[in-house]
Structure 1
Amino acid sequence: MRPQQRVSLPLTELLSEIVTLVPGEPGPDDHGGEISARGVSMSAAEVEPGDLFLGVPGARFHGAAFADQARERGAVAILTDAAGAALVREKNVDLPLLVSAENPRSFAGKLAGRVYGTADLHALTLGITGTNGKTSTAHFLDAIMRQLGLITGLSSTAERRIGDQAVISHLTTPEAPEVHALLGTMIEAGVDAAIIEVSAHALTRHRIDGVHFDVVGFTNLSHDHLDDYGTMDNYLAAKQELFTPEYARRAVVCLDTPAGLAVRDGARIPVTTIGTTGVLAPGIVADWMVTIENENPRFTEFRVDHPALGALRTRIPLIGAHMASNAGLAIAMLAEAGLSLATIGSALAADGQINAQLPGRLVRVSGESGPTVFVDSGHTPDAIEKSLHAVRQVTAGKVIMIAGADGDRDASKRGDMGAAAADGSDLLIITDHHSRKENPGEIRAALIAGARTRVTADRILEVPNPEKAIRAAVERAGATDTILWCGLASQDYRDVDGVERPFDVAEEARQALREHGYGA
């Protein structure tokens, strides 16, 4: 998404006070005339005519290696580092070349903000970080404000949306040029509020540079991305960057996990806290409290209390105390932004519900007959544990879990994922998800090894083919049982050996139910 109305900025003006060029290299005015840009892109495949192409080093390739593709798509110039410049010159790409003394990623946000005019964004701007719960919190914020009649812009793991116009998302937080292009489009659309999920990578890779939030929220921290950060301390430190004046004005921090205390204590902006009754560790006191009042297979009712601001009872069309905690965080963030509980309460539907639709988050795909089936996007040990707990609370019979793990991603969490899946289920079916370039058998073996630390082999079933895995689950489930399939619910494909193949978990589950005579 990019704004329709854009102005072309001379590169001299665009780069001024932002970019330091390598001494002795040509400047913007040394290429036979003034060059102007009306867009910025870090992906050659997404360059539009008039763009300044930023060639940045990546995990596998240097972006400058694709400078010829950027030129063919209409780039007016390339800005890259010394290594990238060597690649461009080696290929003899006929494109004005500017060589930065720094990695262009470090200033991409500032350049994009200048091109797309995002300094003019006056909407309420909200950001959410944490390992799990970012997407649900973002969608709860979005739902409440839409129920108030406001126009919202949303950037989440599941989708990018402005008003009713949506596109599928592939990154939790897109690269800085995309973030600012999205914000520029929001300005053009006249949104009242902008909601952005902020990943750890977004902070360490400068994806939200140039964005300033009115209120940010922290959900939790658990095992993930250690292939990038090495230790949990490093991972936490990346998240903590959001809680500084550079990025935000105020914060609401959930204390349900120990990391919440570290975020609260290390924040350099004012912090309000929230916790969940029965989850908060003994002796820990939070400003806001979330208390679960009723759970059933269709919804969760809860109360949010603040000693000075009062209480609000509401419900969400989802199961799980963790989902209620995320909804409570959304309510507290809006209160910190200046909305009263009375105003928030007035946004709720006639039945007092927050009408959030969360793609891939504990979505029920079964009908009224036969076993209950939920699909979920959880892919960390903590997410699996919480989803299984939520399912167990509303299940009279046994719980059957289908689990897989992603290839070419943090392998260190697979054993813990298998253990969590086995702990919370009566039968665990291990299958394949995104194997990517890894051997899928080795991925399954790591999950099974973790599961075997908790249960005996007779409670584990290995079914490599996911289409067969869901059918094996339905065959073994009775009318009072629940099947939970975690890992792929927010995506419409499987990446096998580097090839993305269409795959819809929800539809596959519905088809399996229909084949066994159940409505879905």
Structure 2
Amino acid sequence: MSPDSDPSPDLAARMASGRLRPERRISTPLRDLARLAQARLELPAPDDPADGGAAVTGVDLRAQDIEPGDLFAALPGTRSHGARFAADAVAAGAVAVLTDEAGLALARESGIPQTVPILVHDAPRSVLGVISAAIYGNPSQRMSVVGITGTSGKTTTSYLVEAALAAAGRRCALVGTIETRVEGRRVPSALTTPEAPQLHALFALVLEAGVDTVVMEVSSHALALGRVDGVHFDIGAFTNLSQDHLDFHRDLDDYFEAKARLFDPESPVHADRAVVCVDDRWGEAMAARAGSGDGVVVTVATRGADADWAAGAPEASASGTQTFTLVGPDGASHTVSTRLPGAYNVANASLALACAAELGVAVDDAARGIADVDVPGRVQRIERGQEFLAVVDYAHKPAALEAVIATLRGQSAGRLAVVVGAGGDRDTGKRPQMGEVAARSADLLVVTDDNPRSENPAEIRREVMAGALAVPVTERGEVREIADRAHAIADAVRWARSGDVVLVAGKGHEIGQEIHGVKHPFDDRDVTSAAIDHVLGERS
């Protein structure tokens, strides 16, 4: 089955409605779930076996999404406790509640009937994954699951792995930042990794549809917060690590430890086999961590390090297609081509092929599968008949921005304009770094708004500008500040001449701009296209 094939009508209808639940339901007694999670079961009548054997057939975190027969997971949150909505969940059909001690009291206060049993655990989120997996029949144990983590390259690598496996006839589902894709049916993703109840329900759904392999991005948040608990990973793949999410993690070491949950033999979610890019010190450390037990560790390198899979220097065509030689563990050489430009995409492609090989796919078949893959919002060219290169990319952290700029510099001898900002309610430390990287590398830097979220956009821009203006005048290009993102893009496009490059960075595939809790329609690709059309009209 190809990634572009049509899903079955029944599956298509369910996915279009947003109902990502399997048709087949399994009844799981509450007592079994209590034993599995080592939770206390609060029954209305402690000696009544019927209550402990209530038929739980689903699980959800949101009261508004509860279906009859569900377990309602009432977790403590930063703003409110989920147990406050227990009565709503029971009214919708929940037959039991999972919560903590505080939630037990709140659930009773919310007005739920005294006859509703409650599972009580000191840390309910920590057991939600294994409970969800059990309720849906442990579907990940009946498929191959490839989990891809790292700071940059997760999305691209996941698309490449999916294509490599599909070329060999594997029936794949893709779960990631841009979309969830099942039998070619695309579902927009709100999170890189769904919460545990949604994830295990999705696994059960795709298993019913005949999928045999799931390729998924696994974020550090998902690993730290237990969203992938209960998942059996056949392969864990590591791309790289650089500064990001330090609003959530204490420091880079803490960030690394979150990623390491997918590889550490002592972790309950560690993969059976690790495929690790060792191009940086964090990759070397991750390979060492994964190798501290009895698991299989496969290494990938593109910069000359000793590894099982070694990629040679690529040759790039005028269109940006790269061709390189990949040498495998058996010493055999394979010619690999990818439409995705940049040294980092050689690493992504090599990692993807190593993952496919670990699942038994012939390397040359896998290489044919990835040759024509494009990834939305990743070094995506905007072609409107203009004489300059326009590119939209998701780069929203310093290392990623530096890498894509270096790639574009290598593709053109002309000038370079960069339009970039920084997201609100995220790691503030990278804002001046983004400004510095862009100012040092661009002939024109236009600092603008990204997704301000709840923050003051002007303050975010000030921090990015501070980094840009800290670069000595003799070492940087022109720096402008234009708050309105559409106007900023138009300004850079208007500046460009034949042979130049315009990079619009930070949002990539996103189709909205979040400002004070409201997501306004905004797609860098559409806005850039419109700006180019306008300029071409002016110049004709």
TM-score range, shorter chain: over 0.9
Q: Tell me the equivalent position of 2:381.
A: 364
Are 2:436 and 1:436 equivalent residues in the alignment? no
Aligned mate of 2:159, from 136, 139, 146: 139
Aligned mate of 1:285, from 279, 283, 306: 306
Residue type of the alignment partner of 1:274:
V
**Counterparts of 2:349 and 2:477, CA distance in 1:** 38
For the 8 Å contact 2:58–2:136, the answer to whether it is kept is yes
- Deviations, residues 12-33 of structure 1 (Å, cap 9, x unaligned): 3333332411779876958968
Q: Tell me the equivalent position of 1:481.
A: 500
**Counterparts of 1:38 and 1:472, CA distance in 2:** 55
**Counterparts of 2:32 and 2:479, CA distance in 1:** 63
Aligned mate of 2:261, from 227, 233, 241: 241
Aligned mate of 2:405, from 388, 400, 403: 388
Q: Secondary structure at the match of 2:499?
A: coil
| Cα 1:199–1:357 shift into 2, 3 Å | same
Aligned mate of 1:42, from 55, 61, 66: 61
Are 2:361 and 1:335 equivalent residues in the alignment? no
Once the two structures are overlaid, the 10-residue window that deviates more, 413-422 or 4-13, is 4-13
Q: Tell me the equivalent position of 1:98.
A: 118
Q: TM-score normalised to the size of structure 1? A: 0.92
How far did residue 199 of structure 1 move?
A: 1.0
* 1:165-176 mapped onto 2 (5 Å cutoff): 165-176=185-196
Q: Secondary structure at the match of 2:159?
A: helix
Residue type of the alignment partner of 1:305:
V
Q: Tell me the equivalent position of 1:262.
A: 285
**Counterparts of 1:210 and 1:307, CA distance in 2:** 32
**Counterparts of 1:49 and 1:354, CA distance in 2:** 46
How far did residue 73 of structure 1 move?
A: 3.5
Once the two structures are overlaid, the 10-residue window that deviates more, 74-83 or 465-474, is 74-83
For the 8 Å contact 1:432–1:444, the answer to whether it is kept is yes
Q: Secondary structure at the match of 1:484?
A: strand
For the 8 Å contact 1:42–1:56, the answer to whether it is kept is yes
- Deviations, residues 226-249 of structure 1 (Å, cap 9, x unaligned): 111111111111111111344211
Q: TM-score normalised to the size of structure 2? A: 0.89
Once the two structures are overlaid, the 10-residue window that deviates more, 163-172 or 315-324, is 315-324
Residue type of the alignment partner of 1:413:
K
Q: Tell me the equivalent position of 1:301.
A: 323
**Counterparts of 2:235 and 2:509, CA distance in 1:** 26
How far did residue 195 of structure 1 move?
A: 0.7
Once the two structures are overlaid, the 10-residue window that deviates more, 204-213 or 440-449, is 204-213
**Counterparts of 1:494 and 1:109, CA distance in 2:** 32
How far did residue 381 of structure 1 move?
A: 0.8
- Deviations, residues 64-97 of structure 1 (Å, cap 9, x unaligned): 2332442343322221111222322333244725
| Cα 1:406–1:45 shift into 2, 3 Å | farther
How far did residue 295 of structure 1 move?
A: 4.6
How far did residue 335 of structure 1 move?
A: 1.6
**Counterparts of 1:328 and 1:397, CA distance in 2:** 30
Identity within the alignment, %: 38
* 1:62-461 mapped onto 2 (5 Å cutoff): 62-94=81-113, 96-119=116-139, 121-245=141-265, 246=268, 247-267=270-290, 268=293, 269-277=295-303, 284-291=305-312, 292-306=314-328, 308-345=330-367, 347-348=368-369, 354-456=371-473, 459-461=478-480
**Counterparts of 2:461 and 2:535, CA distance in 1:** 27
Once the two structures are overlaid, the 10-residue window that deviates more, 115-124 or 310-319, is 115-124
**Counterparts of 1:510 and 1:411, CA distance in 2:** 30
How far did residue 429 of structure 1 move?
A: 0.7
**Counterparts of 2:131 and 2:26, CA distance in 1:** 14
Residue type of the alignment partner of 1:148:
A
Residue type of the alignment partner of 1:507:
D
| Cα 1:434–1:120 shift into 2, 3 Å | closer
Q: Tell me the equivalent position of 1:468.
A: 487
Q: Tell me the equivalent position of 1:56.
A: 75
Once the two structures are overlaid, the 10-residue window that deviates more, 325-334 or 48-57, is 48-57
**Counterparts of 1:371 and 1:336, CA distance in 2:** 42
Q: Secondary structure at the match of 1:265?
A: helix
**Counterparts of 2:392 and 2:47, CA distance in 1:** 52
CA RMSD of aligned residues (A): 2.3
Residue type of the alignment partner of 1:390:
T
Residue type of the alignment partner of 1:265:
A
**Counterparts of 1:2 and 1:396, CA distance in 2:** 52
Q: Tell me the equivalent position of 2:17.
A: none
**Counterparts of 1:369 and 1:143, CA distance in 2:** 31
For the 8 Å contact 1:79–1:97, the answer to whether it is kept is no
Q: Secondary structure at the match of 2:273?
A: strand
How far did residue 167 of structure 1 move?
A: 0.2
For the 8 Å contact 1:28–1:34, the answer to whether it is kept is no
Aligned mate of 1:493, from 486, 499, 512: 512
| Cα 1:507–1:81 shift into 2, 3 Å | same
| Cα 1:365–1:59 shift into 2, 3 Å | farther
**Counterparts of 1:60 and 1:204, CA distance in 2:** 19
| Cα 1:11–1:33 shift into 2, 3 Å | closer
Structure 1 unaligned residues grouped into runs of 5+: none
| Cα 1:502–1:49 shift into 2, 3 Å | farther
For the 8 Å contact 1:375–1:485, the answer to whether it is kept is yes
**Counterparts of 1:381 and 1:387, CA distance in 2:** 10
**Matched positions, count:** 509
| Aligned structure 1 segments of 4 or more residues deviating by more than 6 angstroms | 22-28, 30-33
**Counterparts of 2:342 and 2:365, CA distance in 1:** 25
**Counterparts of 2:140 and 2:231, CA distance in 1:** 11
How far did residue 371 of structure 1 move?
A: 2.1
For the 8 Å contact 2:445–2:477, the answer to whether it is kept is no
- Deviations, residues 183-204 of structure 1 (Å, cap 9, x unaligned): 1112111113111111111111
For the 8 Å contact 2:165–2:356, the answer to whether it is kept is no
